[in-house]
Structure 1
């Protein structure tokens, strides 16, 4: 089988496409014929050895795949050959075939194509867990979404609207702002160009306050970090919830007097840990997300599709934060 290989720590250009033996499913596993694989920001980190998980090299990146069950290992009772599924693993997804735990697989709704399935569960699962379980977002509240044009950001926009919130997006370009508004956000603004300066932080804080209104944001969805976090927090309402989802912009250094003065919560969101610690609740969330998909309230926004020989380009787009919505690697 063809597979994308990380032989050493490095950027997108470190990846190669090589022939590898087709794996055999062990007890409790299934072999998938991979039809698509989502590209997520942790994939960019893992090939540089900057992620919590560091697979032994050489390894195949890619955590979220969709495909068809080709073989079933002993002891697997919930899946059959020919089933269309979404599967998860710490790595191994960017290959024509993958063997992975049957317990990590969920059946794909008949209405959902393979490319959408491969980018659905991590982004929407993260955002739904954050807004529903961690923030308890309520009808009529104001949700501020940083990085709103990214994969989890645009999922948060759609889920926020589905839950009845007023949704305000924040992005880096006018093109991204137009995209976010087209996906249902009530408002969207562009970060100030001088954000790294003291004046820039104040300008962004004022933008957030103006967009959120006198009360401020009840919930902030923050997959960006860095200086963006403090500026957004200054627009937090009394008793609000600031969701820390990621920090590609750098680890935030938040003055701790701000949570005190606003009596607000700083809430961590670690979706991978949630799926392992609370699998029952995660299955419930996934089924509810599939219902929202069937109703048309949410849908993956794929801006680019790459074949296996163009994976480095896909990684570069994610790393440079140029991507709008989601990116998928598709297999014939």
Structure 2
């Protein structure tokens, strides 16, 4: 089989496609022939050496796949054989085959293509935890979704629409028409305007009850200030650390600068302002597979009911993985970027 290998920290030239022997299942594993694999911003940070949870190099990244079960170990129900599935993967998903345990497997909804199904595990699970599990967004409240045109952003838009909340979002101008058609109430062009000033104008100076923020650094300070009473800030990424395309000292300096700019939240101001802050990191939830299964079943029910509709911006073959990384870094995607073997 072929797999995408990240050889070292650096630019696009550290990504290679290599041939390795086909996988054989352990007793508690299923082997999936991968038809589609997700690409996430964490993969970009990992390539540059900015992702502390990433595996040692050389490594194969990838957190989610869709494909067909080809083999199972003795401890796995053999009814999975031949089924179209989606799965969480703890890395190694950007390959033609991946080995997973049964709790990581879910049947693929029939109405979704393999590419669409591969959007669900990371993007929709992250958005569900941010908005419903920890954010507790209500229909009479409002939400600001940063980077609403990205993979998690569009997933969050679907979920907030289902709840019935008023939705604000930051995105570049070229994405506005698509997002309006998708159901976004108010779009803020973060490239040409101060998003916080615009948000306050739109909300008569009140702010919003929930903000989902993957930016990090000083933006978390501004997001916190834009919360209404009883509001919550959900932090789930540090994409502002990704400046330039290479790794090395430049990447380390960018990460350090982002970390230094991050705010500290003291309990007393939180009490006095009736605000909350929380973080979401899927990579640190592997010890909660039962919860993840419940959350994923809820998302699959949303697909069945028609209010969850994953959007794939484009696909890249494995041999074009460097182009895929560049495409995301240049913020060209509206929705998910998928790698296909």
The TM-score with structure 1 as length reference comes to: 0.90
Note if contact 2:127-2:152 (Cα within 8 Å) is conserved in structure 1. Answer: yes
What is the aligned partner in structure 1 of residue 333 from structure 2?
323
Q: Distance in 1 between matches of 2:53 and 2:26?
A: 22
CA deviation profile, 1:61-91 (whole Å, cap 9, x unmatched): 2221111011111211275210111122222
Note if contact 2:188-2:195 (Cα within 8 Å) is conserved in structure 1. Answer: no
1:183 aligns with 2:189: no
CA deviation profile, 1:100-150 (whole Å, cap 9, x unmatched): 223211111222210011111210000001111111111111011111111
What is the aligned partner in structure 2 of residue 253 from structure 1?
262
1:295 aligns with 2:286: no
Counterpart secondary structure, 1:55: coil
Q: Distance in 2 between matches of 1:166 and 1:193?
A: 23
The TM-score with structure 2 as length reference comes to: 0.88
1:269 aligns with 2:280: yes
Q: Distance in 2 between matches of 1:78 and 1:148?
A: 40
Point out which structure has higher relative CO (alpha carbons under 8 A, 6+ apart): 2
Change in Cα spacing, 1:34 to 1:47, as seen in structure 2 (3 Å) is same
Change in Cα spacing, 1:212 to 1:259, as seen in structure 2 (3 Å) is farther
Q: Distance in 1 between matches of 2:46 and 2:191?
A: 31
Q: Distance in 1 between matches of 2:334 and 2:322?
A: 17
Note if contact 2:109-2:303 (Cα within 8 Å) is conserved in structure 1. Answer: no
What is the aligned partner in structure 1 of residue 30 from structure 2?
30
Point out the more displaced range, 276-285 or 153-162. 276-285
Q: Distance in 2 between matches of 1:255 and 1:10?
A: 31
Change in Cα spacing, 1:27 to 1:36, as seen in structure 2 (3 Å) is same
Q: Distance in 2 between matches of 1:225 and 1:322?
A: 20
Residue number among 220, 227, 242 corresponding to 1:229 in the alignment: 220
Counterpart secondary structure, 1:316: helix
How far has the Cα of 1:193 moved from its partner? 4.0
Q: Distance in 2 between matches of 1:107 and 1:55?
A: 28
Counterpart secondary structure, 1:219: strand
Q: Which runs of 5+ in 1 are unaligned?
A: 195-202
Point out the more displaced range, 44-53 or 27-36. 44-53
Counterpart secondary structure, 1:129: helix
Note if contact 2:210-2:227 (Cα within 8 Å) is conserved in structure 1. Answer: yes
How far has the Cα of 1:176 moved from its partner? 2.0
Q: Which runs of 5+ in 2 are unaligned?
A: 241-257
Q: Distance in 1 between matches of 2:195 and 2:270?
A: 18
Q: Distance in 2 between matches of 1:158 and 1:51?
A: 28
Counterpart secondary structure, 1:294: helix
What is the aligned partner in structure 2 of residue 161 from structure 1?
161
CA deviation profile, 1:240-298 (whole Å, cap 9, x unmatched): 11111112113453375874653200111122323x24322322221121121222212
Q: Distance in 1 between matches of 2:195 and 2:80?
A: 52
Q: Distance in 1 between matches of 2:303 and 2:216?
A: 29
What is the aligned partner in structure 1 of residue 254 from structure 2?
none
Counterpart secondary structure, 1:283: helix
The runs of 4+ residues in structure 1 deviating greater than 6 Å are none
Counterpart secondary structure, 2:179: helix
Note if contact 1:221-1:242 (Cα within 8 Å) is conserved in structure 2. Answer: yes
Q: Distance in 2 between matches of 1:264 and 1:162?
A: 24
Note if contact 1:204-1:231 (Cα within 8 Å) is conserved in structure 2. Answer: no
- Give the total of aligned pairs: 321
